[in-house]
Structure formats: C-alpha cells, structure tokens
C-alpha cells in the first residue's frame, strides 16, 4: 500500500464519506448510545475494531467464496467477530458491557459494516480493506464523540462521565465538570436531542463543504483571470 493510497483511504473514511454525517448509515446505534462521550466512543471503537477485522478477514477469501453465497458468508464472519468482541468486553470491561448491552450484538446488523465489505473489502486486497474498515470506523467514532460531547454538556453539564466504567476506578478523576451546579437539560439526553444534535452536525459538515467549494471556485476563476491578463 502506497502512502498516497493510505492517505486517500483515511481521508475518505474519516471525512469525505463519513458514515455518520455523509452516508447516514447505522443511525440506530448513533442516536441511541451518543448520550455521553464515553458510551459513544466505546461503541464507536468496538465497531471500528469489528470493521477492520472483518474487512481484513474477508478480503483474502473474496476470490474463494462463490458469488451467490457471499452475503451469508460475510454475515457469518461479521457475527463471529462481533461475538468474540462481546465475550472479550464481557470478560474485561464488565461495567461498560452492562451499559452498552444490547448494542454490541447489534453491530452485526449495523448496515455500515456489511456496506463497506460489499463496497470495498470484496474488491480490494487485505491491507487496504482493513485500513478502509478502520478509517470508516474511526469516522463513526469521531461523530459519536462529538455528538456525545454536545449532548453530555447540554444534558448533564459534564464531560467524560462514566469513564471509570472503561478504565477502572482510578479514572474517575478524569471526569470534567463543565458547568457546575447544572440541573440538566432533559431534551438533550432523550432521543430528540440526538436528532437535533445530529442535524446540527450534518448542517455544519455541509456548510464546510460549500465553503471549500466556493473557495476552490474563486481560486480557479482567479487563476483563469491572471492567465488571461
């Protein structure tokens, strides 16, 4: 894999084709677990891990699997990997496992995983595929982190609350109280808050895109004018 390829895949996954705010795939977990930063990032990383592993596992066998059996085989591989991740989390991060509960097995049904495998891993070599899965997963994690931060600050007035569930009791001191004596804003924590925050994020991403486009256009016009002159 060349450096340029690496950069393209990373840029594509994290920014240009971001699953959360551009492709809008996997909305169910995005809206459900983004009530705090820790929850969001944890599920995002678990999904990224599954995507990278399943892409890496499927790319080498893409020529062996008969075309008509490919979907069941892909789903089987994803399900196996998700279950492995679930066992590991249950064993080593028990309290976090309790919080994320049903959303971990649901990674299997997250359409973004199968979508990337169909669109990328089934057509590309293993290294690139693993990289693509990882980049897409990280893009999702980034959206979940920002969304979680918006909702947590608005809803609870804190950041990183519950980090001790992921890193152990000693991490409790990492919790940041952004607004002291905050009474909470219920709407932000409930599902509507997730829709509103996600809407703002998508609007922000589109605005940045438009601005970049306008800039590129005016630069091009200027270049033409200087050439003409």
Query: Stretches 12-20, 25-33, 59-67, 216-224: which one binds another protein (CB under 8 A)?
Result: 59-67
Q: Does 179 bind another protein (CB under 8 A)?
A: no
Structural tokens at position 62 = 């893409």
Q: Does 39 bind another protein (CB under 8 A)?
A: no
Does residue 118 contact residue 136 with C-beta atoms inside 8 Å? no
Cα–Cα distance for residue pair 92/173, rounded to 1 Å = 21
Does residue 34 contact residue 40 with C-beta atoms inside 8 Å? yes
Closest to another protein by CB, 116 or 156: 156
- Least distance (Å) between residue 97 CB and another protein: 8
Closest to another protein by CB, 69 or 119: 69
Cα–Cα distance for residue pair 95/89, rounded to 1 Å = 9
- Least distance (Å) between residue 201 CB and another protein: 21
Cα–Cα distance for residue pair 124/128, rounded to 1 Å = 7
DSSP tag of 122? T
- Least distance (Å) between residue 164 CB and another protein: 11
Site mask for another protein (CB under 8 A), range 69-108, x = bound: x--xx--xx-xx--xx--xx-xxx-xx--x----------
- Tally of CB atoms within 10 A around 154: 19
Cα–Cα distance for residue pair 180/176, rounded to 1 Å = 10
**Contact positions vs another protein (CB under 8 A):** 35, 64-66, 68-69, 72-73, 76-77, 79-80, 83-84, 87-88, 90-92, 94-95, 98, 155-156, 184-186, 189-190
């Amino acid at each position: 894999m060349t450096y340029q390829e690496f950069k393209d895949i990373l840029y594509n996954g994290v920014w240009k084709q971001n699953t959360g705010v551009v492709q809008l795939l996997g909305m169910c977990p995005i809206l459900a677990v983004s009530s705090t930063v820790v929850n969001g990032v944890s599920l995002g990383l678990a999904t990224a891990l599954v995507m990278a592993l399943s892409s890496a596992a499927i790319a080498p066998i893409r020529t062996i699997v008969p075309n008509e059996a490919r979907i069941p085989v892909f789903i089987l591989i994803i399900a196996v990997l998700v279950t492995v991740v679930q066992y590991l989390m249950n064993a080593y991060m028990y309290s976090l496992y309790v919080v994320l509960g049903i959303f971990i097995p649901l990674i299997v049904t997250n359409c973004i995983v199968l979508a990337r495998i169909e669109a990328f891993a089934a057509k590309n070599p293993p290294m690139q595929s693993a990289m693509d899965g990882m980049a897409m997963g990280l893009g999702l994690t980034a959206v979940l982190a920002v969304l979680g931060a918006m909702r947590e600050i608005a809803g609870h007035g804190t950041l990183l609350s519950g980090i001790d569930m992921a890193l152990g009791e000693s991490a409790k001191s990492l919790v940041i109280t952004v607004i002291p004596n905050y009474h909470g804003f219920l709407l932000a924590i409930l599902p509507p808050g997730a829709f509103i925050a996600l809407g703002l994020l998508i609007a922000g991403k589109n605005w940045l895109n438009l601005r970049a486009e306008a800039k590129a256009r005016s630069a091009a016009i200027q270049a033409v004018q200087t050439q003409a002159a």
